[in-house]
Amino acid sequence: MIGWFIMLSSTLEVVEGLVAMLTCYLALRFYSLARERLFLALFTSFLILGLGLLIHGLAAGVVLLMAPRLRPSTFVLTLRSLALTLSICEAFAYGLLAYSYTRYGAPRHGGQTGQGVLPSLMLMPALAASPTNSMGQEVVVGLVRFHPLLEGLILAILAYLAFKTISNFLSEKDVNPFLVSFSFLFLAAARVCFVLAFSLTILYITAHVLQLLAFLSLLIVLLRVVRA
């Protein structure tokens, strides 16, 4: 049961990471053409997002599959560190995107390091008491996602980005702006599910499916732009 849960989560994150890297490549290509800082911001944003998703997807999958051979403390700390890394990458990447829209103020970073320690320690006895191969899905969600508060911060940034891209679609009324607004709307919806998944585990899968749809929508935009 846990096996497919982990594999699905990791596989989807890798796919999403690859789409983010493709966006990053396109932004770099346009930066080399125009030398505009906006493209540099887009490149940096999608590079960090892509790396965060790829590293988390691959490393969390490997760590969780190797769980029986790891000490519980090593296992928990590794997963929590990976979750923190992903959350910081997402907060930074989406924050930088939001900055690109506003063009003022600094990107908001999600450095909630202190708050992640308590849930980690609370999970320790649970893991120590039960073999890792019989972990519940709710424990896995608590390990692969950092903290609901940090997820909430990312949600706020995504809600802003969804608002901006929907506004753009309403003024442009074209396919590509629609797909981008759809993408950010689904990313925000996915984030709501990630926040709620801490108490309702099944929403973790829903969140990943929504996030995948968002990235696939972005992929369609990229292909349309490249083939234009």
Give the nearest distance from C-beta 180 to other proteins in angstroms: 5
Among residues 66, 121, 128, 226, the one that binds other proteins under rule CB under 8 A: 226
Give the list of residues 6+ apart from residue 69 with CB closer than 8 angstroms, or none: none
Among 15, 20, 26, 162, the residue binding other proteins under the rule CB under 8 A is: 26
Residue whose CB is less far from other proteins, 126 or 220: 220
Residues 158-177 that bind other proteins (CB under 8 A): 164-165, 167-169, 171-172, 174, 176-177
User: Is residue 223 within the footprint of other proteins (CB under 8 A)?
Assistant: no
Residue 120: enclosing H or E segment and its boundaries? Answer: helix 113-129
Range 179-198, binding other proteins (CB under 8 A): 179-180
Residue 221 touching other proteins (CB under 8 A): yes
Is position 101 an interface residue for other proteins (rule: CB under 8 A)?
yes
Is 228 near other proteins (CB under 8 A)? yes
41-70: which residues touch other proteins (CB under 8 A)?
42
Does 105 sit near other proteins (CB under 8 A)?
no
Binding mask 113-152 for other proteins (x = CB under 8 A): ----------------------------------------
Q: Which two tokens stand for residue 13?
A: 């994150």
Q: Name every residue whose Cβ is closer than 8 Å to that of residue 219 and which is 6 or more positions away in sequence.
A: 19, 22
Helix, strand, coil shares, percent, the chain, to 5: 85, 0, 15
Alpha-carbon separation of residue 50 from 13, 34, 35, 75, 119 (angstroms): 9, 23, 22, 24, 26
Cβ contacts of residue 162 below 8 Å, gap of 6+? 181, 184, 185, 187, 188
- Return d(Cα 126, Cα 109) in angstroms, integer: 31
| DSSP label at residue 103 | -
Binding region for other proteins (CB under 8 A): 26, 29-30, 33-36, 38, 42, 100-101, 164-165, 167-169, 171-172, 174, 176-177, 179-180, 221, 224-226, 228
